[in-house]
Structure 1
Amino acid sequence: MHGVARRCNEEHELLVVPKAPRAHCPSQSPRVWNLYSIKNNKLLPLPFQVPYVDRFVGSSKGWLVTVDDNLVVRLLNPLCLVPGKQIGYDPNTYITLPPLDPPCSVFNHIRKVVLSANLTSSHDDYMAIFGADHHVAYIRTNKEKEWTYVHHNWGILHDLIYYRDCFCAINYNSEVIYFNMADRSFFKYLPINCNVNLENFETKNFVKSLAGELLLIERIKRWDWHGKLGCNYTKGAEIWNLKLDSEGWEWREMKSIRDCALFVGDNISLSVAASDFCGCQPNCIYFIDDYENFLYPSMILENSYALKYAKDVGVYNMETRSFTPYDTAKDDVWLVDTTKLRIVPSFVVYEPA
């Protein structure tokens, strides 16, 4: 059995899931994973084997991003990781980046890694949000051997995206920070004028619309305390469109996204035409919550409430302004108690010979 690469005419979003949850089949190797096609609503016969890593930290341009205990960042192409195949040093399959500087604690140190282009077609700039205060580091692998660190006073950064040949970040105040990698310049642009109740807090994510415009999704959440343990739930959501013209930048609130549906998560967010996906609801935002980022190991071990109610996963309807949560207690392919990663393969599919 071997892999054959071919170009795809369209992008298909895939969900990375374990081949068999440990609770159901302990004899199966936890390193063998499958791809779940969201478009076709089924598991694909494309098992791949992932080498040991400490944890996944996201996906970008069809690559999985991992980090180990030594903060070494590695990029894996899941469509080339055939079970039983030796990974070796094939740059189309496995790329190792220099380690980041060690922090006081490695717990959830790297938040997100973003690529500027497909690694197989061009040399790349990488960028990472890292650390408890979400500082930024970047590297140009064709020119540099170590990460460059950006020490800023922009506050906590929520998300990072590669848009119009530059990296853009969003901070807690909804200010957009523009990174020009060519001359290493950084600019900050106007925030959104919005007032938020102090009982609430927001998470912010970038999404590129089908029309190629930059959207900002503000997920409004509220804390619910049970003794000393608190969880949060989605109370609302807002969508803002960043308009660029000769006079500058302007945020415009969107009350509807019509036939579009947005998939928003920590590792990747994207916009799709709902009519192209059976069962996909138009004018809705599908949220995936990686709330384990905020749980310490002691909380997970000592109190099952943290795991049972901490995952705020569901669909927000822009027309009715209502949020419908998924029952995360159910043990199905979407909500098994493990990390979910969405990937959009950029140029290859694996075909058994």
Structure 2
Amino acid sequence: MAAIGFSDLQPDLMAKIHDNLCFLDRLAFAATLSAPSRNALKPEPPWLLLPGDTPDTARVFSLADRRSATVRAPDPAMRDHVIIGSSGGWLVTADERGRMRLANPVTGEQGDLPAITTIPFLNATPGGHHFVLTMEPFVQIRYRGELESWPLSPHPYGTFTHTAGDMRRWFYRKVVLSASPRPGDYAAMLLLDNYFGAPAFATAEDGRWRIAPSRDGVEDAIHHKGKFFSVTYTGTVEAWERDGVHGEFTSKVVTTRMPKGRDHRQFSKYLAVAPDGRLMIVLKNAKGVKKDLFELQVFVEKTRRWEAAEDIGDLAIFVGINSSLCVSTTKHPELKAGCVYYTDDKIGKASLRRDAKWSSWHLHGDDDSNRNVAVYSLKDGTAESIPELGEHLSWPPPAWFIPSFP
């Protein structure tokens, strides 16, 4: 009698078996199935990846099971690395030498992103301990040659130098990946720290980073319907297209400006898309207050206006260093509707808090409660922790991801 594999089972039976397993066993079960067979399984809600107790481990937390487990961190992409992006089940990490890598925390598959020095006017010093950005060509591209638009004009441009370790703290802000990325087949959008503002793009086929024009600067971005979409620091959403001949990325405005633009020094912006296609901007109070920590603006296509929304129905929004996610709480009743699940994504500031952990400044002037991971109710205006998560390390900052198989 021929052996019967899991993929030979009826889809409803496979789904029933899968649903009755604990969270790590669900992944092991899914790994045995073919890609078509996995379509019968219930998708996982976002998981949380946190630092482990040792450099070669990481901790994963399942919101569905309210349980965590320690797992092996794939080497080298997830050992002593900081997560600077999470899209489509893949993480982007950066090491102390400024190198960026792709990693799938479920399968362990990984690959390199192009070196940051593929930007022609960004060079490493001998030994790779520092990176030097020549500002004039950077400003030329960002402002399309209108140098007077540079806020520091008419001062000399000169150069800007970062240590290799500071690249992931103060130069890289976030990396957003295209849909279904994997080594050898991806497009990536690198958002630079707000002082620099402009994005850079890379594709697997091109193998280099290209700075793109952005007068108002890019604060956050997502990949949606085959394109990168971004929100500027002034509150306008743009869609990006790649020139098939020259490989350059340029943007087109697709919304009106959000009222008052919301100064990025007071509010951080996260761009998201609802399941019905509506564009949303999640605003986080930069002062870290517990009351009125988040607000939500929704773009109404019919009126071409942004409108405040206190109720998002049966949705939960996940923001942080990840590409923002909207998840149905009807499909995932273990999640809280109308809430923002958030993580700390200010890598530079998190690094400073780590370095000053035992100083009087940290103990008396900086409250870490609910900063690292928490859930905020838009309706009630209150934030609460996730009790089952328990105590956990805060460096490097955690990240949401959805487990996936290529």
> Which of these residues, 151, 162, 166, is aligned with residue 223 of structure 2?
162
Query: 1:309 corresponds to which residue?
Result: 368
Inter-CA distance 280–173: structure 2 relative to 1 (3 Å threshold): same
**Percentage of identical aligned residues:** 20
Pairwise mapping of residues 90-105 of structure 1 onto structure 2 (< 5 A)? 93-100=109-116, 101=122, 102=131, 103=133, 104-105=161-162
Displacement of 1:5? 6.2
Query: 1:70 corresponds to which residue?
Result: 97
Which shows bigger deviation, 336-345 or 120-129? 120-129
Query: 1:84 corresponds to which residue?
Result: none
Query: 2:257 corresponds to which residue?
Result: 191
Query: Does 1:284 pair with 2:300?
Result: no
Query: Does 1:202 pair with 2:261?
Result: no
Give the structure-2-normalised TM-score.
0.66
- 3-state SS of 1:293 partner: helix
In the alignment, the residues of structure 1 paired with residue 98 and residue 323 of structure 2 have an alpha-carbon distance, to the nearest angstrom, of: 21
RMSD in angstroms over aligned alpha carbons? Answer: 3.3
Displacement of 1:206? 1.4
Q: What letter matches 1:95 in structure 2?
A: G
Query: 1:228 corresponds to which residue?
Result: none
> Which of these residues, 271, 276, 279, is aligned with residue 211 of structure 1?
276
Query: Does 1:57 pair with 2:68?
Result: no
Structure with higher strand content: 1
Q: Which has the larger radius of gyration?
A: 2
Pairwise mapping of residues 7-22 of structure 1 onto structure 2 (< 5 A)? 7=35, 8-9=38-39, 10-12=42-44, 13-19=46-52, 21=53
Give the structure-1-normalised TM-score.
0.75
In the alignment, the residues of structure 2 paired with residue 304 and residue 39 of structure 1 have an alpha-carbon distance, to the nearest angstrom, of: 34
Displacement of 1:127? 1.0
Query: 2:23 corresponds to which residue?
Result: none
Displacement of 1:331? 10
- 3-state SS of 2:97 partner: coil
In the alignment, the residues of structure 2 paired with residue 255 and residue 77 of structure 1 have an alpha-carbon distance, to the nearest angstrom, of: 35
In the alignment, the residues of structure 2 paired with residue 127 and residue 205 of structure 1 have an alpha-carbon distance, to the nearest angstrom, of: 15
Pairwise mapping of residues 157-306 of structure 1 onto structure 2 (< 5 A)? 157-182=218-243, 184-188=249-253, 189-194=255-260, 201-222=266-287, 233=290, 235-244=292-301, 249-277=304-332, 279-295=334-350, 297=352, 299-300=356-357, 302=359, 303-305=361-363
Query: Does 1:139 pair with 2:202?
Result: yes
In the alignment, the residues of structure 2 paired with residue 40 and residue 77 of structure 1 have an alpha-carbon distance, to the nearest angstrom, of: 21
Q: What letter matches 1:346 in structure 2?
A: S
Cα deviations by residue, 1:253-297 (Å, 9 ceiling, x for unpaired): 323112222222222321222244455322222232334532563
Displacement of 1:17? 2.7
- 3-state SS of 2:348 partner: helix
Q: What letter matches 2:107 in structure 1?
A: C
> Which of these residues, 279, 297, 319, is aligned with residue 379 of structure 2?
319
- 3-state SS of 2:185 partner: coil
Aligned pairs, number:
312
Structure with higher helix content: 2
Cα deviations by residue, 1:44-103 (Å, 9 ceiling, x for unpaired): 58644342344221211111111123322110111122xxxxxxxxxxx11112211335
